Amino acid sequence: MSFQKYRFDGSRPFEISACSTDETSLCDDRKDAEKKMEENNGLIDELQQKLYAEKKEGVIFLFQAMDAAGKDGTIRAVLTCLSPHGVYEAAFKAPSSDELAHDYLWRVAKVVPAKGEIAIFNRSHYEDVLIGKVKELYRGQANARRIDLDRVIDNRYEDIRNFEEYLYRNNVRTVKIFLHVSKEEQARRFLSRIEEPEKNWKFSGSDYEERAYWDAYQEAFESAINATATEHCPWYVVPADHKWYMRYVVSEIILATLKDMDPRYPEVTEERLATFAKYKEELLKELPPEDAPKPKKEKNKNKKKK
């Protein structure tokens, strides 16, 4: 069984009510998941180094979820294995007045990764078809009179598909991950934030107030995923009630993406290798004899073992 069962690329409809939030079918238990994730993280680190060295393709790993689903913890657990070179996180909160004065994809375009880079989007342009849809925020924003406000969300779905396909054609992939948590598990995590002093800072009254829109957000996620899941820019709907399982599955998604990108260290030409001998000779002149690297001994392949 593969994590690909969580993938939605437009070839089949996504029904949010039919997707489990608590299944753990790909692992025997938490210990098994943590072991597998540790192995994955080592491979992810190696591939990221090659990606950075090759500088031929970039990738966005985009996380969306309801509050308390575990975005921050998952990003820390899975992606802290990476070198800080060529990796960065972009967090998208409520847009500033400057951002509202531009088109809604403007703030996203500014943080698209360069070739060789990995960008981690903690929330994203999808906020404009999630909370933007649920609260109809676009109706209170400045719009030209020609704009049909009843078509804003449908138009944005089209914009997003075109934008992500444009990035794909220009060497930047977009991998979208929805951490799918249940309403009951969200309640448990909110209670934990209230009851444990070290977690109090994570909780605010607005978090609880958003629960009143739970059904509307579920519908918004379902619509957005169905409208924007494509072969080149798929969505992964990951069960999020068990954090250990969610993090393992995310590590599988990231590893599989990097493997498919197949980054390689740049090949060194014969001409460049020839210059290395010259540089080595000049550098050795600057070192005392005792600091010069010792020649490696060749192993005697014919030597019999005692």
12-32 pLDDT, tens per residue? 999 999 999 999 999 989 999
Backbone phi, then psi, for 135, in 5-degree steps?
-95, 0
Signed CA dihedral, 159, 13, 133, 119: sign only: negative
Lowest-confidence region among 35-44, 184-193, 205-214: 205-214
DSSP string for residues in 150-173: GGHHHHHHHHHHHHHHHHHHTTEE
Homologous superfamily of 3-261 in CATH? P-loop containing nucleotide triphosphate hydrolases (3.40.50.300)
Beta strand 118-122 with 172-180 is: unpaired
- Position 272 confidence tier, pLDDT thresholds 50, 70, 90: confident
Tokens, residue 285? 């002149």
149-199 pLDDT, tens per residue? 999 999 999 999 999 999 999 999 999 999 999 999 999 999 998 888 778
284-295 pLDDT, tens per residue? 888 887 777 776
How many CA atoms, within 13 angstroms, populate the side-chain half-sphere of residue 41? 18
- Find the largest Cα–Cα distance for the chain: 90
Backbone phi, then psi, for 114, in 5-degree steps?
-80, 170
Rg (CA), the chain: 24
